[in-house]
Structure 1
Amino acid sequence: MAESSRPIVVALLAVPDVTAATLYGFHDTLCGVGRDWQMVHGGTARSPFRPLVVSVDGEPFTAANGVRIVPEAAFAGCPRPDIVCITDLAIAPGAKLDGVYDAAADWVRERHAEGALLASACSGAALLARTGLLEGLDATSHWAYCDALSRQYPGVRWHPDRGLVMSGAGQRIVMAGSGIAWHQLALALIARHAGAEAAMQVARINMFDWNPTSPIAYASLTRGEPAADPVIARCQQWLASNYQCESPVAQMAAMSGMPDRTFKRRFAQATGMSPIEYVHTLRLEEAKQMLEASDASIEAIAFEVGYQDASFFGRLFRRRVALTPAQYRRRFGNLKRRLSAAQSPIGSVPAR
């Protein structure tokens, strides 16, 4: 923890692919610690944090989505930070960062060696992994990135199901997973350096919540491109319209013209999963859509997507989605109804 006689310096890393919402969201949140709570209660206070947007050269640049970023310091002129934070990057899963962010990775590694706590939000984990400091540790990132990161950095234990992970000696590496899990990251950093009460005030002022739902519940199970293998890609295309039929794996094997064992091996090589896992993936994604949009019974949905045994469907759904079908419907069906209501200019969406 930083000494109380000086502000807690937080270096917010600004690189060309950074998104302004999280970068400046962190900046504003940290500036408001203590200050905003006192402001609404008629008092005054100064935040114990000093967030600084820093970049390689300190020069203004246009970042992701066309937003103009004006760094406050270059790496060489940045005061020694207590925390270095890498916010999310607008890069595709699996994007190669070789040589692109080497200077930034080196700087982050050096600051950690000097004692700085490192934090990453969402896809910012890709840059943090580039430092080599995650080797042998638990880590997290956005659910859409963890598979690719697992292939790029097999020595890291990636957890797409965890919204927040603390790792390393003294837990000096803190990582947030998907989307607005950066709220949790900000609250965790505030609690560690300024106390739980200060973090609670920030949560109440900003209506931040510590969402207990696993990020996996939000994940699209069918992400990714068709296989490069033309035979397997044709099977994928067929399965997209026939996943609910009986014995789909056997039908795909027959369609491929390969022996059963050869087909399964080639399918796994092309897609990263076995044929039956792929079938379950398509069925469960369709079941999620039906749970969001319809009032059909869970048994009826199980049958509709290809499962004769609703109990098996329920166990499989919970294992893959981290919620039971009923829990998923309550959470995301309600969200879908509210979003549908928001399309209408008549009336309003209730707050509760």
Structure 2
Amino acid sequence: MKHLSILVPDDRSGPNTVACIAGTYHAFTEANKYYGTLGRKPVFKMELVGLSKRSELVNGMLMIQPQASISTIRKTDLIIIPALGGEFLEKNFVDEKVSAWLRGQYKKGAEIACMCTGAYMLAATDLLNGKSCSVHWKSAESFHQLFPEVQLKIEKLITDEEGIYTNGGGYSFLNLLIYLIGKYYDRQTAVYCSKVLQVEIDRQTQSDFAIFSGQKKHGDDMIRKAQEYMEHNYDRKISVDELSKELAFGRRTFDRRFIKATGNTPAEYLQRLKIESAKKALESTPKTVNEIMYEVGYSDAKAFREVFRKITGISPLAYKNKYNREAAELLFMNDAN
């Protein structure tokens, strides 16, 4: 039987920390039970592990008692790091004993799964350097600033690389659990657990949930001026070459500094501004997709649809039907008829 360690943080907890811990225990318990009905042995023995004998969570409102200290866990197969709470202003916030234990277990062959902001803890150990990682879209800016060596893939719901798994934010940790059950058990068990927990299986992206606001905490005043110009003129045809000349940059230097500061090329940044404006109009107005397309500066319907799908993961019409109340009600009535 494999060993599953669910890490209980000493501090930096929030409501989602508790949900991640309880959700993990629930999901893998269901998977073990279902495996038993198939005449198979449970895959995991689960233990809540930590540094302290008791951990106060959510400002002392709840208390969890780890079943074992990390110092007693010599070998584990899978470690779950739940979402954390609070602000992350420096890299060195993780207790060195926890950091050393995570690095040591990974070196021995353990796999590690981070839920939402739990990725900050793993990134602080340097185990995520050079690897893909997803976090909640609201955390992307601060995460990128603290850990530029990590390949942030904010559009992805789940990343899977070299025995390290991460996922986006909120309650999408449930999607990660279903994904892990599929890997450690089998597809049949994953489908069963998805039905019991009522979690959509095979969801790949969190892009349609993300709200683009632009990375501004980078200290490059000239790039910030370029961002502000784009934000006020995204509906016009903006030439990146002319903008770089206006700011007295060569195009290659401008692109390099813009990418370093924001994580996007100037063209990508402009696209995201246009699509974010289109999303808001699709959510809240009765305007057609074509009307909104023209308003945000596109004249080619095919190009608009392709960029919209690339950024959000779905088409403009599907987005409108999903998030616009009037459109959803009309679609429901048409289906009923």
Q: TM-score, normalised by structure 1?
A: 0.73
Alignment match, 2:165? 174
* Deviation for aligned residue 1:54: 1.6
Alignment match, 2:47? 52
Q: Does 1:307 align with 2:298?
A: yes
Task: Give the letter aligned to residue 103 of structure 1.
Answer: K
1:87-117 Cα distance to aligned partner (Å, 9 max, x none): 112245x642314333212111122233322
1:130-176 Cα distance to aligned partner (Å, 9 max, x none): 233334444433344456545544554433233223222xxx32333
> How do residues 152-231 of structure 1 correspond to structure 2 at under 5 angstroms?
152-168=146-162, 172-225=163-216
Q: Does 1:123 align with 2:117?
A: yes
In structure 2, the CA distance between the partners of 1:247 and 1:130, relative to structure 1 (3 Å rule), is closer
| Cα distance between partner residues in 1 of 2:319 and 2:83 | 27
Asked if 2 retains the 8 angstrom alpha-carbon contact of 1:314 and 1:325, the reply is yes
Alignment match, 2:66? 71
| Cα distance between partner residues in 2 of 1:51 and 1:149 | 30
Asked if 2 retains the 8 angstrom alpha-carbon contact of 1:30 and 1:47, the reply is no
Task: Give the letter aligned to residue 113 of structure 1.
Answer: K
Task: Give the letter aligned to residue 173 of structure 1.
Answer: I
**1:84 is matched with which residue: 55, 79, 83?**
79
> How do residues 1-352 of structure 1 correspond to structure 2 at under 5 angstroms?
3=1, 8-15=2-9, 16-18=11-13, 19-35=17-33, 48-63=43-58, 66-78=61-73, 80-92=75-87, 95-146=89-140, 148-150=142-144, 152-168=146-162, 172-225=163-216, 240=231, 242-245=233-236, 247=238, 259-262=246-249, 265=254, 268=258, 271=262, 273=264, 277-333=268-324
Alignment match, 2:332? none
* Alignment root-mean-square deviation, CA: 4.1
SS in 2 for 1:33: helix
SS in 2 for 1:122: coil
* Deviation for aligned residue 1:48: 4.8
| Cα distance between partner residues in 2 of 1:24 and 1:59 | 16
In structure 2, the CA distance between the partners of 1:29 and 1:113, relative to structure 1 (3 Å rule), is same
SS in 1 for 2:119: helix
Asked if 1 retains the 8 angstrom alpha-carbon contact of 2:134 and 2:158, the reply is yes
Asked if 2 retains the 8 angstrom alpha-carbon contact of 1:139 and 1:175, the reply is yes
| Cα distance between partner residues in 1 of 2:108 and 2:190 | 26
In structure 2, the CA distance between the partners of 1:164 and 1:117, relative to structure 1 (3 Å rule), is same
Worse-matched range after superposition: 147-156 or 97-106? 147-156
Asked if 2 retains the 8 angstrom alpha-carbon contact of 1:14 and 1:54, the reply is yes
Worse-matched range after superposition: 226-235 or 63-72? 226-235
**Gaps in structure 1 of 5+ consecutive residues:** 339-349
Q: TM-score, normalised by structure 2?
A: 0.76
| Cα distance between partner residues in 2 of 1:58 and 1:163 | 33
| Cα distance between partner residues in 2 of 1:182 and 1:107 | 23
SS in 2 for 1:115: coil
| Cα distance between partner residues in 1 of 2:326 and 2:73 | 43
